[in-house]
């Protein structure tokens, strides 16, 4: 059984679509579909239920994912530790990190620090995205924007979904929120992008509303903390609030609403003379999930 096919199976399960998985790998959907079909043939079981509108894991697929994912992660981690032991990596890597990206990549960064103790990560919090690479003398940046410039290489690390959240204390004091229209009468916390534009409208799959922002901020971490404190409702990446939701510190308001998905990208100069430590970090971040 090919380990690449297992990685592909996990990717398709995470993306929920052959097309999305093919796009992230820059390959054809038909090829992804064929490789999954071959894997199912080897296992003697269907892993995905396919319809014209949606695709989901079968019970066998869910069980297989539960068993395979941690084993594959352990195998990758073992490989990184082995490489570090016999090919010692040293040096400093200068990274530009968006204020909220630490919550998304904390485990991957911690894993790298453990595997490569001779490498120093010099992290700078940035607001200008990939444009800060030259300005601040960075080796790479983690950004939600894609550079439309052949001078840069961009690799997607993960994608995240934004939903509406509020604290229980805010909901106790606010008017009832039962419909999309009710959001217009709430105190909202708005996001300002790196381009300086404020997200005045919240675009959902069902409709678009005009939010009445009581606070505007360019940092998701600050919005997260203000939301925890009961200042209002806001759109936040699910990946950085899931622990707060599990601990009942935040509530997903109108959970059927989604503001869509965005990518978190690793970006570095295309023709840069990257150090060995930087190359190893890039490989680690794009491989270890």
Co-location of 148 and 267 in the same domain: yes
Co-location of 149 and 95 in the same domain: yes
Co-location of 98 and 232 in the same domain: no
Co-location of 253 and 270 in the same domain: no
Co-location of 150 and 276 in the same domain: yes
Q: How many domains does the chain divide into?
A: 3
Q: pLDDT tens, 84-141?
A: 555 578 899 999 988 778 888 888 999 999 888 899 999 998 877 788 888 899 999 9
Buried b (16+ CB within 10 A) or exposed e, 149-176: eeebbbeebbbbebbbbbbeebbeebee
Are the C-beta atoms of 227 and 167 separated by less than 8 Å? yes
Co-location of 102 and 230 in the same domain: no
Co-location of 193 and 61 in the same domain: no
User: pLDDT value at position 86?
Assistant: 53
Residue 80 binned pLDDT confidence (cut-offs 50, 70, 90): low
Co-location of 101 and 19 in the same domain: no
Which residues form the domain of 198? Answer: 161-260
Co-location of 139 and 281 in the same domain: yes
Co-location of 246 and 166 in the same domain: yes
User: pLDDT value at position 55?
Assistant: 84
- Provide the phi-psi class of 137: left if phi over 0, else alpha when psi is between -120 and 50, else beta: left
Q: pLDDT tens, 137-192?
A: 999 999 887 777 778 888 888 888 999 999 999 999 998 899 888 888 899 999 98
Q: pLDDT tens, 8-67?
A: 888 888 888 888 888 888 888 888 889 999 988 998 999 998 876 778 899 998 999 898
Co-location of 177 and 251 in the same domain: yes
Residue 234 binned pLDDT confidence (cut-offs 50, 70, 90): very high
């Amino acid at each position: 059984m090919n380990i690449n096919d297992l990685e592909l199976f996990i990717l398709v399960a995470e993306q929920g679509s052959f097309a999305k998985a093919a796009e992230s790998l820059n390959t054809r959907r038909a090829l992804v579909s064929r490789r999954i079909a071959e894997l199912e043939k080897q296992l003697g079981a269907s892993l995905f239920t396919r319809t014209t509108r949606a695709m989901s894991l079968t019970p066998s697929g869910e069980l297989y994912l539960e068993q395979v994912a941690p084993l594959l992660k352990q195998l990758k981690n073992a490989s990184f530790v082995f490489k570090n032991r016999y090919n010692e990596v040293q040096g400093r890597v200068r990274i530009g990190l968006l204020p909220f990206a630490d919550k998304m990549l904390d485990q991957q960064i911690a894993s790298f620090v453990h595997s490569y103790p001779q490498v120093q990560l010099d992290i700078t919090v940035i607001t200008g995205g990939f444009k800060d690479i030259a300005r601040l003398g960075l080796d790479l940046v983690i950004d939600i924007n894609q550079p439309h410039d052949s001078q840069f290489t961009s690799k997607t690390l993960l994608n995240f979904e934004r939903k509406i959240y509020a604290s229980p204390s805010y909901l106790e004091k606010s008017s009832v929120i039962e419909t999309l229209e009710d959001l217009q009468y709430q105190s909202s916390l708005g996001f300002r992008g790196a381009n300086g534009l404020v997200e005045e409208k919240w675009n959902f799959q069902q409709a678009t509303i005009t939010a009445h922002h009581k606070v505007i901020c360019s940092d998701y971490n600050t919005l997260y903390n203000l939301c925890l404190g009961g200042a209002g409702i806001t759109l936040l990446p699910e990946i950085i609030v899931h622990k707060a939701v599990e601990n009942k510190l935040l509530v997903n308001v109108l959970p059927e609403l989604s503001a869509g998905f965005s990518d978190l990208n690793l970006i570095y100069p295309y023709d840069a003379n990257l150090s060995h430590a930087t190359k190893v970090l890039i490989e680690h971040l794009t491989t270890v999930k």
